[in-house]
Chains A and B, each alone.
Chain A
Amino acid sequence: MAVVSGLSAILIANVLIPLAIAIFSSGFFPYKPLVSGLAKCEDLEQYVKPPFDKVIFMVVDALRSDFVYSNASGFTFTQSLIRSGAALPFTAHASSPTVTMPRLKAMTTGSTPSFLDVIFNIAESDTSTTLAFQDTWLAQLRARGDRLVMYGDDTWLKLFPGMFDRSDGTTSFYVSVSRQSTIFLVYLRYQVKPTLQDFTEVDHNVTRHVPSELLQDDWSAFIMHFLGLDHIGHKLGPQSSHMLRKQREMDSVIGELYASIEREGHLQSTLLVLCGDHGMNDAGNHGGSSSGETSPALLFISPLFKTMGGPRHQAPIDIPDDFQCYKTVDQTDIVPTLAGLLGFPIPLNNLGVFIPDLLGVWHSYSQRTKVLLANAKQLLRRLEHSFPDHKITVDQLPGRCTTELLTSMHEAQCAWLQVMSLVDNSISTGDQDELEPALKRFLSSAQEVLTNAASDYNLRQLLLGIGAMALAVLLLLPHAYKQLSISMHSGAFFAGLIVSYGGMMFASSYVEEEHQFWNWIFSAWIFLLHVKVASRRSCASSEQLPISNGSFSSSMAQYATLGLFATHRILRRWNQTGQKFAAEPDIAHGFLPTHLYILWLLVIVTYVDICVHLSNGYHSSKPWRLICIAVTATAFLFKLGSVVSDFPELLGTTHIGTLKQAFNKVPLILLSRIVFVGLLLLILVTLYSRKITCKKGPVKLGMHTRVMHEALTLLLITQSRTTNIPLFLIFRLQAVTFASMNLSGIELTITSLLMQYMTFFAFGGSNAISSVDLSNAYNGIDHYSFFLVGLLTFVGNWAGPIWWASAARRLRYRQTWKGREVHMTTLTFHIATSSLCVMIACATLRAHLFIWTVFSPKYLYMMAWAVMGHLGVNLLGEFS
């Protein structure tokens, strides 16, 4: 396989890595354009008299279809309504992920949220994860001046802030629990003792509002979201006795609502919708895509339906294995159906289709076709928006529609052409018999095209991306193997690291707790280095090894590992990250904010330390020292100023008033710009004087890199949170210790790699999008700029890795070009294999419950590591 020489293999692999990432991303995050704005009532002649003016929308969390329809169900009254024809039963297919928030989006906008939507929603600040500016049936009702009320799960309140006139939200404590139950651990049930209060209280909070709201006539949408059934499912499973009791309770709510609809005059034309947002599996959990989880019940209830005619349904029925009771519709179909029944424009992004069984409420045939036509036109616009290449016009080869149809897109086109010709026809002849089936055909084919475009990954591109990355790995494999087999133990360690890290990418908890892995493997690495140092001492005579380059004496090197252990232990406790132990006390959030003097002492010591190193760095001349002191002082002032404005709690209460006044006048942006420009100046001066000394001869070789390194440190400190600044002191200690250990090339490479990953997490990073620290993203910038903000965010979040890349570069200053090649091969091999594993994990686990919350954020982080951390920092650093 060693067909490519070492250097060109590195080159090709590093071209392949971003290429593979780009290809994979395009398949992994399919482009799904959303239309913004609200749909408007267009032509008045389309107007159909709506049979209902009010809707009671009752969501029962995790209401699987069999809970309502089976023989063992507690919904006896509801079943009698089905038998009488007043309730129309369906199974509403809920697509994965079957958790509440995306499902509510589907049920209100009519569209399925795509992968990237969710990522962006998490990345956005908490207030903007809303549907407030999207076209939903709630927004449509609101737009025409109607009032809405809402009781139950406060997810609604988060999604629709300010939408409801009256509301009372209940928090679901199971949001976090359902995140924790992974698919491969579904068999391990939660052994939590059920408290009856949890099951009853959440729903009592809703039902107590029902009688009073039913007496009010000011609302036109009354939304309820009951959580108790989901809680029982999570704790006791679908078979528990509590489940039946809860179903009876829900049934009595339906009974109360239905009785008022029949009794009260102002509720005369009120539609009652009962639905689950998702189902549950046999263990009572949800989130995945098993048939139990994707099959919630959906019922449209009104006395009006009794007069509709059509086939009467049996109830209860035998439940099929796949839970598809009665007719299966899509969950998004709720949206156009409500639009038609309540008479408002269909929301723009809707992918649903009016449920044909409900067409019977209109007795006139033309009204039915008008409803369907409105739906069809909306879907057509959506289709044209999603596929701008496919223009659907009349002159487009109608002849081919008679022959065999190849794609569903083609089918939709032909169905629309047929609809158009039939519409023209009906205007002239008045014959509409064929229009309804044609419309239905178009609607179903358009829905198919749109749904697939919205949710499917482009598998071909996923495979192509994986293939490209695998090629990069294969190219490097012979070289990496050759180099690693030379240095046996480090090589074995590195191989074990790569294998275990790659395997870890397939387990959601290990992705969440990645910092544990690096801490764990790093302590093993220190141990190995310790053994090495100790055994070298015991077997090698002193003239063999030049132990002279560290500031530690050789005997100190033996205990250096103890120092490394101790400092590492402090580092890993500095910021708690991950999921499982994130809430536990740590130094940055627990200790330092309560011991402010220690914090500021450490911060000041760090700045002074840098100032000393900078000014001793190159010249000893006075102007150089002055510049150094000025830049460091400005950087410190800037940090102080930003703390005053953003984190005043870090200054205590005593001095805050005076400091605030002092910093009111100082523009922080100017200060940070001075820091950046000053650092640039220092570097330029150093580069310039290097040129001069190079002419004189290599006297102070390595000194300029020292200045560069110190300048970089100051930049990184400026981009770090205040509580993280003392970490740089610890880093410096560790770097000195490593220098005293006289490590070989490959050992330095592995140390650099481990320190980069370990410190990324020590700064508080994790694999969750929410842990991206944006507090320093706008230093020195007064407007949003994608490139600058992105760069500053990267520097701020990857401060530890960048520092260690630079520090390790300095530790390797004696290395020849050959040694650097080994270094680059090893690092590239690591990043290629880990990227490959993340890609394979994302591709194979794309139906996994946590694909949105764990694996795809990991993929985004991996992109940052590979493109910025590897190509931008590690490789560029080699050539500087």
Chain B
Amino acid sequence: MVSSPASPTATGAMSAIHVNNNSSSSSSSSSSSSNSGGGPPPILKSSPPVRILPSQLARIYSFAHPAAVLLGFAVRFPQLVNDPVSEMLNALPFLAASQVVFAIICLPPAGGSLDNTPGSSSSGATPSGTSSSSSNIILRPGRPARRKGGSGGSGGAGAGVGGGVLGGLGGKVIPSLLALILTALLATPVLAILLVLFGAPFTTHHAQTALCAAHMALLTAVPLVYVHGVDGAVWREVWGAGRPADAVWGAALGTCVGAWLGAVPIPLDWDRPWQAFPITILAGAYLGFAAGTLLGRTKWVYGKRLRFAEEGELADKKRE
């Protein structure tokens, strides 16, 4: 959703060698087909869907987290209705903290796996830094390795952040810091613009829109940035909503679709205080986040992509 305008001029990348347990091989192979861009078509392979870390804690917490987030939202709902702005503002740090904790416990950080050596994680922590042919090795069965996106153009940010300092914990701290910074600086404004484009008030309710966007950014962007860093290919897929489904992308898409559905009760003439602008949107976003997180991992959805190209071809064929 964010970084596509800064799309890299980039270079080839290694194709990811990965074993995808559940998703059909056809979907993943079709996902990484060629790209016809404006310039010389770069053949970019985007990263495969992300799995929750295999540890027991991660498994349990990955279910507990969306439930806890929803529960927290439900508990604070009356306060939200009473004073949306201050409640949304007060809830921001808690949401941010819980999202980061979720990411650290359950998700593989950008640029490397947990048991990467410091050396390999240094190349990984600058996820889009160099277009080095880094290792795309399955480090553990069932968990696809991170591919190092070859994208020199947008690498500035990554390189700046990722600098090189990295130790064992750094492999998790740096991505979470990066996630928080990018969420605040990029994802929130972009989501605010999207909210306005989808019909949020433009001349009034600025605080509400901004805070709603901040909440949605925390729900969507923190896990995405944590896992993918500033990988241009991934973000281009995000821009086209073409990521393969997993918990992280499911959460992001679910949040946005939920927010869209959240607009449904607003026109009703019930004159309830909760029908005020950001409340239903935010409630929809939270519900969508929980649903998307859980749904994206199920084996029926995992690895599948949202795509519409076939229909055009079919229709064209039919026309002929």
Contacts and interface: CB of A to CB of B under 8 A. Distances in A.
Tell me the dominant secondary structure on chain A's binding face.
Answer: helix
Contact of A540 (B36, B199, B237, B318): B36
Contact of B241 (A531, A573, A816): A531
Nearest to A742: B312
A744 B269 contact: no
Contact of B242 (A182, A534, A555, A572): A534
B202 interface: yes
Contacts of B198: 523, 565
Interface string B27-43: 00010011111100100
Contact of A524 (B239, B260, B306): B260
Given A538-B35, A743-B312, 8 more contacts: A488-B310, A490-B311, A531-B242, A536-B308, A540-B309, A541-B34, A747-B312, A818-B319
Contact of A555 (B37, B270, B272, B316): B37
A188 interface: yes
Contacts of A554: 36, 38
Interface in A518-569: 519-520, 523-524, 527-528, 530-542, 544, 553-555, 565-566, 568-569
Given A489-B308, A531-B306, A535-B307, A819 B319 contact: yes
A77 B184 CA distance: 72
A578 interface: yes
A49 interface: no
Contacts of B33: 538-539
Contacts of B197: 523, 565-566, 568-569
A507 B269 CA distance: 10
| Range for the number of chain A residues in contact with chain B | 35 or more
A776 interface: no
Contacts of B138: none
A394 B311 CA distance: 76
B35 A745 contact: no
A538 B315 contact: no
Nearest to B196: A569
B78 interface: no
Contact of B309 (A520, A539, A553, A818): A539
Interface in A801-833: 815-816, 818-819
Contacts of B306: 531, 535
A692 B198 CA distance: 49
A527 B35 contact: no
Given A188-B272, A538-B33, A744-B312, A573 B267 contact: no
A269 to B, nearest CB: 49
A436 interface: no
A745 B320 CA distance: 12
A487 B308 CA distance: 9
Contacts, number: 140
Interface in A165-198: 180, 182, 185, 188, 190
A156 to B, nearest CB: 28
A427 interface: no
Contact of A746 (B199, B240, B270, B315): B315
A585 interface: yes
22 contacts: A188-B271, A486-B311, A487-B315, A489-B311, A491-B311, A520-B199, A520-B260, A520-B264, A527-B241, A531-B306, A531-B307, A531-B308, A536-B312, A537-B37, A537-B240, A538-B33, A538-B240, A539-B307, A553-B38, A585-B203, A744-B312, A744-B316
Given A534-B241, A535-B309, A585-B203, A180 B269 contact: yes
B269 A580 contact: yes
B211 to A, nearest CB: 20
Contacts of B263: 516, 520
Given A524-B260, A537-B37, A579 B269 contact: yes
Contacts of B240: 530-531, 533-535, 537-538
A487 B312 CA distance: 7
Contacts of A491: 311
Interface string B127-141: 000000000000000
Q: Which of B202, B237, B268 gathers the greatest number of chain A CB atoms within 10 Å?
A: B268
